[in-house]
Amino acid sequence: MKVGIVFPHHEIGTDPGAIKAYAQGAEAMGADHMLIYDHVLGADPNRPGGWSGPYDKDVAFHEPFTTFAFMAAVTETIEFSTAVLILPQRQTALVAKQAAELAILSNNRFRLGIGTGWNAVEYEALDVPFEARGSRQAEQVELMRKLWADDAFTYEGRFNTVTQASILPRPSQKIPIWFGGGVPALLKRCARLGDGWIPLGTPNEASAAMIEVMKTEREAAGLSWDSFGIQAQAQSRGGDPDRWRSHFERWEALGCTHIAVATHNAGNRSVEEHLASAQTYFDAVH
């Protein structure tokens, strides 16, 4: 399994020097890849009707494409992946353009992890209907792949229209698309359209059953499982080397290909502390 690191979005701060040091430090310690979370807006808990969710307006999220482009300029080998970009709340052609540029500037070190999201507040502010986001996502993947590969073409979809147009420059290699989530419709969509899966849970029987669903779906569609990836996550908080190894080995037994350790919410207060925490995990599982 390839071992990576999760960008500590809320704790890294806004100093460009610190973000540069973090990216270079992660690469120097041998991190194969870096994940970044995505949220455009946070709701005020005191808004009309109240608010209950895993984050609010006081939790910081760095914009993924901009942050990864900055990191790509100061690194050489580490790969980047969104985990996950809320695709349906964005314009398809614009995401295709941004992803293509990041792939170009990083020398094809970018994977696009996508999800449908749960926060209707973001969809409202971005002027996109919250409903039918799963169907919208499936169409977006089809269109983005055409935009990355084809010269001017016409596309008439349910949600997107392109009339004899294209993007340029286009990436020199296929940009992998990995789907995050676990509901049955998503698993089937991921199996049919995705290059990999980003699970939300732990390496248990439920995750194993989800993997079997996707294997069956891919086999029925005539698609190979061998090239399909699984991106898990681990938490440094509350763990120790024995627990980390057990968690790692259980994911490995399920066929996981990538795992990234998150060091936020664990009391780390500096770039050095976050990297040292990740290094402890790396030492335990390598």
Q: What is the pLDDT of residues 225-271, one digit of tens each?
A: 999 999 999 999 999 999 999 999 999 999 999 999 999 999 999 99
Query: What is the mean pLDDT of the segment spanning 131-139?
Result: 97
**Multiple choice CATH, 2-285, 3.10.20.30, 3.30.70.270, 3.20.20.30, 3.40.50.1460:** 3.20.20.30
Query: What is the mean pLDDT of the segment spanning 80-89?
Result: 98
DSSP 151-190: SSEEEE-SS-EEEEE--SS--SSPPPEEEE--SHHHHHHH
pLDDT in tens, 153-173: 999 999 999 999 999 999 999
- According to DSSP, the β-strands at 2-6 and 258-262 are parallel
The residues that bridge with 110 in the sheet, in sequence order, are: 80
Closest by CA to 119, choosing from 18, 214, 51, is: 51
Indicate the residue type of 91: Q
Q: What interhelical angle do 271-285 and 241-253 show, nearest 10?
A: 60
Query: What is the mean pLDDT of the segment spanning 139-152?
Result: 98
pLDDT of 240: 95
- Stated as kind and residue range, the H or E segment containing 231 is strand 229-235
Confidence band of 181 (pLDDT split at 50, 70, 90): very high
Nearest-5° Cα angle at 175, 169 to 177: 140
Query: What is the mean pLDDT of the segment spanning 120-135?
Result: 97
Distance of CA 140 to the CA centre of its chain: 16
Alpha-carbon distance of 103 to 267, in angstroms, equals 34
Alpha-carbon distance of 190 to 157, in angstroms, equals 20
Query: What is the mean pLDDT of the segment spanning 80-93?
Result: 98
Token pair listed for 279? 């290094």
pLDDT of 51: 87
pLDDT in tens, 3-51: 999 999 999 999 999 999 999 999 999 999 999 999 999 999 999 988 8
Alpha-carbon distance of 63 to 254, in angstroms, equals 32
Contact indicator for 201, 220 with CB cutoff of 8 Å: no
**% of the chain exceeding 90 in pLDDT:** 98
Alpha-carbon distance of 234 to 1, in angstroms, equals 13
Contact indicator for 208, 174 with CB cutoff of 8 Å: no
**% of the chain exceeding 70 in pLDDT:** 100
User: How many other C-beta atoms are found inside a 10 Å radius of the C-beta of residue 224?
Assistant: 8
Q: What average pLDDT does the chain have?
A: 97
pLDDT of 49: 87
pLDDT of 73: 98
